[in-house]
Amino acid sequence: QENSMAYNFCGKAPVVWFSVLLLIGIFSATTARADELYGRVRGTITDPAGAVMPGLQLRVTNVDTGISDEVVSGSDGSYLFVNLKPGTYSLSGSKTGFKAFQIKGIKVIQNQVFVQDVRVELGSVSERLEVQANPVQVETTNMQLGNTLSGGIITDLPLNGRNWITLQQTLPGVVASESRFTTNYATNGSQAQQNSYLVNGTDTNDLPLNSPLVTPSPDAIGEVQLITNTINPEYGRNSGAILNAVTKAGTNAFHGTGFEFFRDTSMNSKRY
């Protein structure tokens, strides 16, 4: 009987250990982060003399949706808005003894920081100073090389087969695939199968072939970020390019599009 019990326990041991490991994996799993999907706005508030201003109330508002967020400048006069969806924003602020201000035209791009320093002026809060944000930004937070294409550019470009992957050809260092996977492109000497494809910050690679698994319509894409070199740690999966597509979101205005798409194959050039 003892031998029989020992045999039964040994036979069930692998199942028990598998169940324990499965439970550990389930309860220790964390939600996948997609920080590369959002942008940030930061800067420093100073008074007319150039001294930093703590305690100033700031509000950033999405122009299309009206969604806003508020922060207060810190002891060093700095402020930071995080997790902002790509789009156009306005920044406003006020403090007793100084004119209220509003800065329009802040373009937030995924995985990038828009720096907007503000120098307030003496006056009444009822007075408002309106300025336009400087569209020229110098990237000082990372060393990534690439480009971000807006939805308007994407729909205007002649995409072969209306496949968003072909947008990769707009960057330097990108060449056609040297393998049988002709839908992919090689970047800066890496293999065509070493690219990473994301939609709304989620991995959409076909794991066995490392090819794009999801092909959203170009009309549904709000913007695409293309990265080819000195990739940040959050993209540490493949050695090729990173393509991250963000789909369009709703706004407060009713809008839509209609189109007809036709391509005559008899007019295509031969591949030789």
State the Cα angle at 148 between 137 and 238, rounded to 5°. Answer: 115
Question: Which residues form the domain of 63?
Answer: 35-132
Q: Taking residues 54-81, what's their average pLDDT?
A: 93
Name the pTM for this structure.
0.67
Q: From 107, 132, 157, give the residue that closes a domain.
A: 132
Whether residues 164 and 65 share a domain: the answer is no
3-state secondary structure of 170: helix
When the pLDDT of each residue in the chain is averaged and rounded to a whole number, the result is 79
Within 47-192, strands assigned E span 57-62, 68-72, 78-84, 87-94, 100-108, 113-115, 118-119, 128-132, 145-150, 174-176, 185-187
Whether residues 94 and 189 share a domain: the answer is no
Whether residues 195 and 241 share a domain: the answer is yes
Q: From 63, 98, 132, give the residue that closes a domain.
A: 132
In the predicted structure, residue 45 carries a pLDDT above the cut 80: yes
Whether residues 171 and 108 share a domain: the answer is no
82-129 pLDDT per residue, tens:
999 888 999 999 888 888 999 999 999 887 889 999 999 888 877 778
Do the Cβ atoms of 162 and 178 come closer than 8 Å? no
**Which residues, 6+ apart, have CB-to-CB distance to 81 below 8 Å?**
40, 41, 42, 60, 69, 71
**24 in any annotated domain:** no
Looking at residue 80, what is its pLDDT? 95
- Between 177 and 46, where is the model more confident? 46
Whether residues 175 and 250 share a domain: the answer is yes
Whether residues 185 and 247 share a domain: the answer is yes
CATH number, position 237 = 2.170.130.10
Give the Å distances, CA to CA, from 229 to 8, 138, 147, 202: 57, 17, 11, 20
3-state secondary structure of 97: coil
Looking at residue 201, what is its pLDDT? 80
Looking at residue 30, what is its pLDDT? 38
Give the Å distances, CA to CA, from 124 to 15, 49, 94, 95, 181: 74, 17, 10, 9, 65
**1 in any annotated domain:** no
7-35 pLDDT per residue, tens:
454 555 666 666 666 666 554 443 344 44
Domain total in the chain: 2
Most confident of the following: 18-22, 240-244, 257-261: 240-244
Looking at residue 182, what is its pLDDT? 65
State the Cα angle at 28 between 22 and 32, rounded to 5°. Answer: 110
